[in-house]
Structure 1
């Protein structure tokens, strides 16, 4: 038994440090089985190899746990809170919910990692006061030291084999700020200035043409058109009334970048599910759902949003 049952309304968010498959299972299988025994809804969203390991170890309770491949569901860290964590927790309001979420693994790229770190920090804001435990495993043998240091800043608790303790370095706001990083747009990027809604159709056509030129499939080119539309509309409404759209290739990804003069003050924008009765306000949510990665850099001088789509997907 790793942790006591949290009191009602007490959000629990530990970093789970493990150094082997055995430690992984010793830390997480009791967490899952205790939850099932207590009638807590339980989900696990972890990378594919960890998913197979966990499934095999859960035995007769496997069918009572929602198991998700984080490499699929959470490829874009910006979709994890609304489409994985909140979706499961909101479905079981009124009960304490247990979730294992492993969004950071050794295969994550340097471009993805800042979005991952911000995601881990923002979980605390998104679930403050909720009756939920979200345990986040970290492989201490495979991840860089700075990743583990960041984990201590984004999680108020740490679980290790045989003990759990408070983190002395908990500072999630500092992590959100530290990874609010700019990305250079390629010098070869095609660009288009958009000044009014009358230019919206041209912006969609521009993005689609560039996407097809760079090798996007027809379906993903259609997704790119939707992403571009929502980013441009958001900029025209909230970003100073004009924007610049750029499309370029970064390795295996097409990147659609929209730059405007606005400031994105809400760090959970695009990560907070919209109530069914709400009109509008779903554009950034949809962008996070469609893109393989979203990186945002925002300051009082302007905001730049980069949406990545794998060209070979």
Structure 2
């Protein structure tokens, strides 16, 4: 059930983004934007759509927020792949944007995707209330900026030159920003659109985001580059502290399972209606990409 919903939501998001960018000029930066948002699981967009369904929000509104988080996520990957950051050659099994074009184009692609994300949540079609749209934009700013994803990325860069490896608490805090903040926003968006209490979904996504990152660390050790779609083994090569290096493979897998259980428990107020979100949590730690 979950995979069918994920696939359907991904198709809806891709169609919406194609429509949004249909009239854009024939320039490398536009081609790079379309390239960067193509493919991927669309898990964050799915979380927006499913949270909206739980709260009775029309898909015609939710699709704007779901598309917004996907382009914000894509921007973060384009910049993260740059030589001055992680210096990656592959993303989703294809050359990274700066490899297919050049560094300057990649910077501009990321910049344009970031601003497009805020344009999408602020579009009147996202919600008739300007206050609701402002809340979505403000919370997305905080999740993606200096208090969220960018903070996590900055802590990650700082850790590479630190004299001592990070502790488990420090890695948890780092990943709560770098990976978790956008996942939390994604899960909360449906409740925000409905002007409802987002706390159950906040708790769900906080555990889910950490489980997602632990699964990524495990894939970096056990995954195959062809299947994963990007380089693996880089963390160990760089001597980076990860959940696997600190907890061991067995301990990391156990911690991920505990987090999934906590995520599912947080959904109890929704009863059986949250079954798809529970399946999503299980998917996060069983995926191979």
TM-score normalised by L of structure 2: 0.26
Of Structure 1 and Structure 2, the greater helix share is in 2
Q: Which has the higher strand share?
A: 1
Provide TM-score, normalisation by structure 1: 0.25
